Amino acid sequence: MAKKPTDLDPSDGLIVDEVGAWAAEKHDRLRKYIDAYRSVRALYLPPKGTGGAGYIELFSGPGRSRLKGSNEFIDGSPIVAYKAAQQSRTRFSDLHFNDLDPDKSSALEKRIAALGGAGHFYSQAADAVVDKIVDALNPTGLHFAFLDPYKLEVLPFSIIRKLAAIPKMDMLIHVSVFDLQRNLRRYVAEGDVLDSFMPNWRGSVDVNRTDHGLRTDLLDYWLGEIRKLGTSPAEGIELVSGPGGQRLYWLVFVSAHPLGRKLWEDIRNINVQTRLL
């Protein structure tokens, strides 16, 4: 079978991902969070502080995407974040971007450089690179990780545990409901994906519940495990829906400190969403 030609952005000749129009919503929330957090971030940057403010993506993509079924190109989350910090006049001190696909990683590096930025770029499995990134971050800084995997299986709980070990680490996590919905019964029967995503889940949920009930219980259990790390998910979990109303993601904000959660409360209500919890 002929290989699908690689999509290039005509504005820079570099590769792009293909995304649905709903991607813009997660980017809006990311942008607003970075802007709202500017004065807190400034406390960790010279001249006020020295701990630093890191921005981390473990599933970065190439930095630009083409909207499915169109010739319209939009920024990917790393570029959205970079520009939002620049516009807020409070840049991140350290950028750490990883994507398993080296072509995407390299395209992103060129795009950040074209904006005058520099960072650390990796191309490894997220669960391996997280150690390197955590080691590189100043533990007294204020850091923010945006985790946006396609599938649950590449987001083992060990990643969240390692990031949450840094005292001031906020995280915005996309959990693919689409994946959980489509593969729920297989995941339950086989066990390995859920064992890695939310260890010890089996003793804590009733697998005989309806699919909807079971999904909600699994998410509850996962959030409970995050709370045990000493950090806590914000109450609001947004369901980002596709144009046909299909469920795509849970958008989960995790912050170790009350101010982060308060800011998120203000930001999450971009438009009316279905609330799960």
Ligand X SMILES: C[S@@+](CC[C@H](N)C(=O)[O-])C[C@H]1O[C@@H](n2cnc3c(N)ncnc32)[C@H](O)[C@@H]1O
Q: Which is nearer to ligand X, 93 or 98 (CB)?
A: 98
Q: Which of 16, 154, 159, 171 binds ligand X (CB under 6 A)?
A: 154
CB of 259 to ligand X, least distance (A): 25
In this structure, how many other beta carbons lie within 10 angstroms of the beta carbon of residue 258? 9
Comparing CA positions, the residue from 100, 54, 103, 107 lying closest to residue 81 is 54
The pair phi, psi for residue 269, each rounded to 5°, is -85, 55
Q: Which is nearer to ligand X, 57 or 94 (CB)?
A: 57
CB of 23 to ligand X, least distance (A): 6
Q: Which of 94, 99, 109, 170 binds ligand X (CB under 6 A)?
A: 99
Does residue 143 interact with ligand X by CB under 6 A? no
In this structure, how many other beta carbons lie within 10 angstroms of the beta carbon of residue 110? 14
Point out which span in 2-10, 148-156, 195-203, 252-260 binds ligand X (CB under 6 A): 148-156
Count the residues of the shown chain that bind ligand X, applying the rule CB under 6 A: 18
CB of 206 to ligand X, least distance (A): 30
CB of 59 to ligand X, least distance (A): 3
Does residue 150 interact with ligand X by CB under 6 A? yes
Does residue 117 interact with ligand X by CB under 6 A? no
Per-residue x/- mask for ligand X, residues 21 to 60, rule CB under 6 A? --x----------------------------------xx-
The DSSP symbol for 275 reads B
Q: Which of 101, 195, 217, 220 binds ligand X (CB under 6 A)?
A: 101
CA Rg value for the chain: 18
Tell me the C-alpha distance between 4 and 54, whole Å. Answer: 36
CB-CB contact of 115 with 122 (8 Å): no
Q: Is the peptide bond before 47 cis (omega within 30 degrees of 0)?
A: yes
Q: Which is nearer to ligand X, 118 or 125 (CB)?
A: 125
Tally of CA atoms within 13 A in the half-sphere of 218 that contains its CB: 29
Q: Which CA distances in Å does 99 have to 102, 125, 149, 165, 166?
A: 7, 7, 10, 22, 22
Point out which span in 147-155, 163-171, 180-188, 255-263 binds ligand X (CB under 6 A): 147-155
Residue number with the shortest CB distance to ligand X? 76
Q: Which is nearer to ligand X, 115 or 150 (CB)?
A: 150
Comparing CA positions, the residue from 69, 86, 97 lying closest to residue 7 is 69
Q: What is the 3-state secondary structure (H, E, C) of 213-272?
A: HHHHHHHHHHHHHHHHCCCEECCCCEEEECCCCCEEEEEEEEECCHHHHHHHHHHHCCCC
Q: Which is nearer to ligand X, 51 or 61 (CB)?
A: 61
Site residues for ligand X per CB under 6 A: 23, 58-59, 61, 65, 76-77, 98-101, 104, 125-126, 148-150, 154
